[in-house]
Structure 1
Amino acid sequence: MMRYLTALRAIVLREALRFVHQRERFIAALVRPLVWLLVFAAGFRAALGLSIIPPYQTYITYETYIVPGLCGMVLLFNGMQSSLSLVYDRETGSMRLLLTAPLPRGWLLFCKLLGTTAISILQVYTFLLIAYFFGIEMEPLGYIAALPALMLSGLMLGALGLALSSFIKQLENFAGVMNFVIFPMFFLSSALYPLWKMAESSPLLRDICAVNPFTHAVELIRFALYLEWNPWALLWTVVAGAIFMALALWGYDPARGMIKRKG
């Protein structure tokens, strides 16, 4: 057990130190959602009127609606950023050194995932604090209730990044693959507009959004911020996270995955 805890502490500490030494990463993680909140939301406010939908009990501003989606954006982009660091570590050889440690590979990947998620949650709460000072307030206890939802969503999206990193052979291919994943997941979700609004223009797009794991991660966060329970979003997020983690374990399996093919 001590070996497991030592590995967990070392990997999480390494992720924290890497984050501290990359301050531009912290700033960039906040700039994206703040631009949407302060710039795009002002333009979309009149065009996207919102009716009363759960978990809201009254009419809300568009800025209030998109805050949970922007929290999801922070988790999504940070998960993908973590996968970039994995590709870099593999090219420099440090990833191979990590995975040859005398511990189960699944535990080592989970430690990496946990460290990434912890950093993502720190960034989310920083964003929520800034949003609060701009007049966007949630339920006081919602900030605490959202922590498990943020943890599960961060683990799911981080596991997706792990899975993708196992199949990206070169650092140069990262941008194309990430753009192919990040933007469809973000825009084909309920992060920026409710699903009923999407159904008005295209029922097919609405169905695509409904099966998007990122949609359910956002809704899990949204309901938690308002102290409400969304079991379907919870189930979908957990199942998607398990699938992505299984893919990551398969991809990093030296008997079948990318590690063997590169070796």
Structure 2
Amino acid sequence: MNAALTALRAIVTREALRFVRQRGRFIAALVRPLVWLMVFAAGFRAALGLSITPPYQTYIQYETYIVPGLCGMILLFNGMQSSLSLVYDREMGSMRLLLTSPLPRWWLLFCRLVASTAISVLQVYTFLAVAWLYGIQMPTLGYLAVLPALVVAGIMLGALGLALSSLIKQLENFAGIMNFVIFPMFFLSTALYPLWKMAESSTLLRDICAANPFTRAVEMIRFALYAEPNWPALGWTVLAGLFFLALALWGYDPARGFLRRKG
């Protein structure tokens, strides 16, 4: 147990130090959702009308609607960024050295997942603080209630990044695979528009968005920001996270996974 906790502390500290030294990563993670909030939302506000849907009790501005989706954007992009660092570590040899330790492989990967999730949650709260200064304020209790939702969503998206990193054998292939995953996952969700709005154009598109695990994560965050539970969204997010984590563990198994040829 002491060895496992030591490994957890060491991996989290290493990732935290790496994040602190990469200030551009923090700024980029913050600027991306802020551009959507302050620039794109101004243009979409007139084009996308919103009705009163749970958890909202009245009509809201479009900027208020997309805040949970932009929180999910931060978690999604940081999860993919974490997978990039895994590919880099594998090419440099440090990842292989880590996985040859006497501790279980699943625990080492889980430690990486905890570290990336902690960084993601920190970034989300920084974004929420800037949004609050911008005038988009949630119920006070919501800022505390959203923490478990952010952790669950961050672990699910981080596990997806882990699974994808086991597929990527070279750093040069990262951009193509990430774009194939990130943009469809983000745009085919309720991050920017509600499901009923999507159903107006295409029922098939609406069904695809409803099946997207990122949609469930965003809705879980949306309800949590108003201190309301969304049990179906929580259940689907947890199931998706367990599936992605199992896929990552299988992918990093040198005997059976995607990296078996690398040994």
- TM exceeding 0.5: yes
Matched, 1:164 2:164: yes
SS for the counterpart of 2:54 is coil
Structure 1 residue aligned with 2:185: 185
User: Which letter maps to 2:33?
Assistant: P
Structure 2 residue aligned with 1:154: 154
Contact 2:167 2:259 in 1 (8 A): no
For residues 89 and 245 of structure 1, what CA distance do their matches in structure 2 show?
19
CA RMSD of aligned residues (A): 0.5
SS for the counterpart of 2:96 is helix
TM-score normalised to the size of structure 1? 0.99
Contact 2:68 2:191 in 1 (8 A): yes
Matched, 1:223 2:236: no
Structure 1 residue aligned with 2:252: 252
Structure 1 residue aligned with 2:36: 36
For residues 110 and 236 of structure 1, what CA distance do their matches in structure 2 show?
20
Where does structure 1 lack aligned partners over 5 or more consecutive residues? Answer: none
SS for the counterpart of 2:144 is helix
Residue by residue, what CA displacement relative to the aligned partner does 1:187-237 show, whole Å, maximum 9, x if unpaired? 000000000000000000000000000000000000000011111000000
Report the alpha carbon displacement of residue 49 of structure 1 after superposing the two structures with TM.
1.1
Structure 1 residue aligned with 2:74: 74
Where does structure 2 lack aligned partners over 5 or more consecutive residues? Answer: none
Residue by residue, what CA displacement relative to the aligned partner does 1:150-169 show, whole Å, maximum 9, x if unpaired? 00000000000000000101
Report the alpha carbon displacement of residue 262 of structure 1 after superposing the two structures with TM.
1.5
SS for the counterpart of 1:46 is helix
Contact 2:209 2:215 in 1 (8 A): yes
Residue by residue, what CA displacement relative to the aligned partner does 1:68-105 show, whole Å, maximum 9, x if unpaired? 00000000000000000000000010000000110110
Q: How many residues align?
A: 263
Structure 2 residue aligned with 1:64: 64
Structure 1 residue aligned with 2:114: 114
User: Which letter maps to 1:158?
Assistant: G
User: Which letter maps to 2:57?
Assistant: Q
User: Which letter maps to 1:24?
Assistant: G
Q: Percent of counterpart pairs with the same letter?
A: 81
For residues 100 and 21 of structure 1, what CA distance do their matches in structure 2 show?
27
For residues 50 and 67 of structure 2, what CA distance do their matches in structure 1 show?
14
For residues 66 and 156 of structure 1, what CA distance do their matches in structure 2 show?
20
Structure 2 residue aligned with 1:261: 261
For residues 55 and 95 of structure 2, what CA distance do their matches in structure 1 show?
43
TM-score normalised to the size of structure 2? 0.99
Structure 1 residue aligned with 2:45: 45
Residue by residue, what CA displacement relative to the aligned partner does 1:41-83 show, whole Å, maximum 9, x if unpaired? 0000011110000000000000000000000000000000000
SS for the counterpart of 1:198 is helix
Structure 1 residue aligned with 2:8: 8
For residues 261 and 241 of structure 1, what CA distance do their matches in structure 2 show?
26
Runs in 1 of length 4+ with deviation above 4 angstroms?
A: none
Report the alpha carbon displacement of residue 259 of structure 1 after superposing the two structures with TM.
3.4
SS for the counterpart of 1:70 is helix
For residues 259 and 76 of structure 1, what CA distance do their matches in structure 2 show?
24
Report the alpha carbon displacement of residue 258 of structure 1 after superposing the two structures with TM.
3.3
SS for the counterpart of 1:7 is helix
Report the alpha carbon displacement of residue 19 of structure 1 after superposing the two structures with TM.
0.1
For residues 69 and 171 of structure 1, what CA distance do their matches in structure 2 show?
29
